[in-house]
Structure 1
């Protein structure tokens, strides 16, 4: 299915405008060609499966059958660096460095691959939509609307990335035949309006009950959640409020407040339980997950070792310190290509510089559940039984932090398999949308309406679950909300998207990020358009973003 989705998904990809005529004229005659796949409900289920596979391929990297797009450092890292949360660590990767230092150009790797990924997903969604209008062989009368709703959700989801990263981009809702080389840039506001239409259709036609769909499948509540975010991007704060409340008040989801799942009887807490392997889906007792991307280990339809490398991004290279050996209990094999900033994660348990000593817990209260040692590993003990240091504490220092060998680590990205400790990817399912973020979107909507008291109420739903002190109305502002999103969602959200949407990217990066403080300005809120797109679009002018 991945191979088929790749073919049909990249036919219309704007990145394919480089003019490979043989590829563009390929006549698909395999048994999975669209003409003989989209002829029944079963065929549309095959196509739908391809959309889910392409969506989760955003997180992939080197090698294996699923990694057909990026082939570099985990591209998701490029949406975290040059913000207010991480510095590129000493464990550098050349494909990430231009984004961490804001020296990326129109030819930088992820500039093109994110464009290609998004338009590949869009073209596959468009193809399904076109064939759904031709097909008359449905198992159930509701199948046509169902598969159209999934396709329109994924089209909006892909355009979400495009407008955040590039601004004005071509809106495409059909298959161009003959292939078009004269695209123009559709104004961002117009693209967002189309996205809203797609998501409104999805809210009306996706399934309602999350307990009656397969794990990982979309429901209308995922569409409402994403619609709330897109309304915020549009500046429609009242509509964003109403969309978020649709999810919060639907009766299907609750913030996880009690222990559950695989380690329920072991030491831990309710927040960290959500990030243990096999605890992301509703079947495990997770009532908070709205949409979960499926990456299960050794499971048909699951992921590969290259499909999700976020563990490689966040976890330290402790195993390069004498006295340590690889262990699943220590998070497996991370590569520490990014490292958390001290201002928010704190320096508790380290002998890091005195500059950070005033905030040992960073932006967390000590009692905050999200600050517990089950969520942030601050104490590291040598685990090599052959060494005299066995079971003694290894101290985190400025040096171990700066080169990526040891720092306070987020356990939400820990993953390891005793039978293959060299794994660098993660097979853990990814909670893409969860209810805590819906509350924080609601708070953002209230701030947009100048209602800090109601914003504080929404944030305090999340803080009470964490056992943290409620925020006072007078302290509730966008900076506080952005800090709260770190406490709750760090590493889960695409931080660049959040800061661009709220208009805070430049301000927060200048305040917290030494790598880019003297470099970043407003033009960095967008990436450059890939040069290959500009060069290949021979039939019309395709202007570059300002500053590139």
Structure 2
């Protein structure tokens, strides 16, 4: 669903945010004289409200703040030189006062919830909706409220909860048990499954299988394993989804609307439509489109500037995130095609020139032609003499990570490539039309596998894993990729989820759900291991929110944070 937000939203909804700082004054001017009740009493106006409810996903999915909260601070990623939120990546003095990412996500997730609350309360009063239209729109809004509340409760724990619309700015907040959040999430999803259509011609809208797929994720999150298995199987069998034949083909810009994708944040191919205006959002942030294509790339253009320049195919390298050594070690690249489907390891000459040498080899080299290898990164440790004998620069394991696993340099490394966008029209174009896959079919197999293991059926878990692993196999290596029930443990499933879902904004939640966050960070991410504490299975509440409320004795900071 492309961006269709009417600017009237910014006019009518700015006062409905849960909290705002008490020391900020806002003067509002409404030149049209319209009220929200008048605008949203008819279908044309109400559609702007529903469309806006979807758009808040764009503050999280495909955005640096969302990646920093959902992928960083885990076992598989650590910070590159360009990371702007190292507190989230490493838990190094992480507080509610020192990361703007948490402020932005908190503000806009609660704005989204309140927008849904308002719309759910008003949908019955839309004069020119049919009964069927009211039913569907309520289903969408219920689904979205559940989706946003899941992000809130998993990120911050038992914080503020409300299902009633706020007509004005609220100055108090509550602390609500996590279980209350989930009771509402399940209640909303049950209504969504009942009310939504099975399909939609408007790409990106919620449908029955979308709601069921998210419900399967919620069942797994809450330990309702039998329900998770049943719901995942329902989605697998009954809605026409199928795994793309080759893992790498999932990420082809010409193949984004494929049969494996269940739900997306649908970014427009017309980049001007991707929320670059500020009027639609209460906090005035310009969101833009998908940024994921930049964030995981090494600064390849600094390897040898005489031979390798920044270009469109190799991407704009923001150098924010790099894989942990332990993450790379999860792949057997001889059997598993996901290694090459996920990572870029070779960069080729795009400037014909004579190189004067490179970082590890100072002798003159022969003339390079366009297409010759300039840089090779490896997940293995190679022989130094062999690397030095090559014309090109090699960054093997020993040239990226110390013996303790902490990176010795953070600029050149194996780089996640699956979000790159070769359709960008300029070298430094920061916007991307790439859709963000929020839920895809492979996750349903992984949900079923984890739930089967948890009810004591490892052979059944292996069955689901082997479907994923068969698709992932290098041709001819399918048998080598098969696992038996005796090999399946919770850690193995987390390893498999890392190989399959890397970068897809699920990792932090996976580790929290399985009670493995602390253990795996400590054993696999030495950058964060030295700082992470047991209480950090929730993030700190933004200090601006603590300061803004008037009932400070009741609404306090999460335990462990100052």
* TM-score > 0.5 by shorter chain: yes
> SS where residue 78 of structure 2 aligns?
strand
Partner in structure 1 of residue 300 of structure 2: 318
TM-score w.r.t. the length of structure 1 is 0.85
Which of 253, 256, 264 is the aligned partner of 1:280?
256
Distance 1:32 1:319, change over 3 A: farther
Q: Does 1:371 align with 2:359?
A: no
- Relative to 1, partners in 2 of residues 1:429 and 1:418: Cα closer, same or farther, differing over 3 Å? closer
Shift in Å, 1:418 = 5.9
User: Equivalences for 1:139-288 in 2 at 5 Å?
Assistant: 140-177=130-167, 179-209=169-199, 212-257=200-245, 270-281=246-257, 286-288=258-260
Which residue pairs with 1:535 in the alignment?
547
SS at match of 1:380: strand
The DSSP-based 3-state class of the residue aligned with 1:131 is helix
Is 1:546 matched up with 2:559? yes
CA distance in 2, matches of 1:318, 1:31: 54
> In 2, Cα distance between the equivalents of 1:27 and 1:192?
38
Change (3 A) 1:316 1:178: closer
Alpha-carbon distance in structure 1 between the residues aligned to 2:223 and 2:433: 37
Alignment of 1:128 onto 2:127: no
Q: Is the 8 A contact 1:125 1:155 kept in 2?
A: yes
SS at match of 1:413: coil
User: Is 2:46 aligned against 1:12?
Assistant: no
Identify the residue that residue 112 of structure 1 maps to in structure 2.
103
* Alignment partners' CA distance in 2, 1:486 and 1:33: 48
1:221, distance to aligned residue in structure 2 (A): 0.9
Bigger CA drift: 427-436 or 96-105? 96-105
Q: Secondary structure at the match of 1:42?
A: helix
The one-character-per-residue Cα deviations of 1:329-368 (angstroms, maximum 9, x if unpaired) are 22x102111101222325xxxxxxxxxxxxxxx4235222
2:479 aligned with 1:473, yes or no? no
Q: Look up the match of 1:266.
A: none
Pick from 268, 273, 276 the counterpart of residue 296 of structure 1: 268
The 1-side partners of 2:463 and 2:418 are apart by 26
For the aligned residue pairs, the C-alpha RMSD in angstroms reads: 2.4
Secondary structure at the counterpart of residue 255 of structure 2: coil
SS of the equivalent of 2:427 reads: coil
Q: Count residues in correspondence.
A: 498
Q: Would you say 1:449 and 2:439 are equivalent positions?
A: no
SS in 1 for 2:165: coil
Distance in 1 between the 2:20 and 2:239 partners? 44
Structure 2, unaligned stretches of length 5 or more? Answer: 277-286, 355-366, 376-393, 402-406
| C-alpha separation in 1, matches of 2:197 and 2:23 | 40
Shift of 1:447: 2.3
Cα separation, partners in 2 of 1:6 and 1:324, compared to 1, 3 Å: farther
Task: Give the match's secondary structure for 1:433.
Answer: strand
For residue 31 of structure 1, report the CA deviation from its aligned partner.
Answer: 8.2
Larger radius of gyration: 2
Q: Partners in 1 of 2:29 and 2:312 — Cα distance? A: 47
Task: Specify the alignment match of 2:534 in structure 1.
Answer: 522
Alpha-carbon distance, 1:404 to partner: 4.2
Report deviation, 1:148. 0.9
Q: CA deviation at 1:177?
A: 4.3
Name the counterpart of 1:65: none
- Deviation digits for residues 89-110 of structure 1, max 9, x if unmatched? 12332x3445424421111312
Aligned to 1:47: 49
> TM-score normalised to the size of structure 2?
0.83
Q: Distance in 1 between matches of 2:80 and 2:178?
A: 34
Change (3 A) 1:5 1:385: farther
- Return closer, same or farther for 1:449/1:369 CA change in 2, 3 Å cut-off: same
- Alignment check: 8 A CA contact 1:31 1:37 kept: no
Distance 1:13 1:399 in 2: 49
Q: How far does residue 477 in structure 1 lie from its aligned partner after superposition? A: 1.4
Q: 2:400 aligned with 1:396, yes or no?
A: no
Distance in structure 1 (CA, Å) of the matches to 2:68 and 2:19: 21
In the aligned structure 1, how far is the partner of 2:334 from the partner of 2:33? Answer: 59
Q: Distance in 2 between matches of 1:275 and 1:32?
A: 44
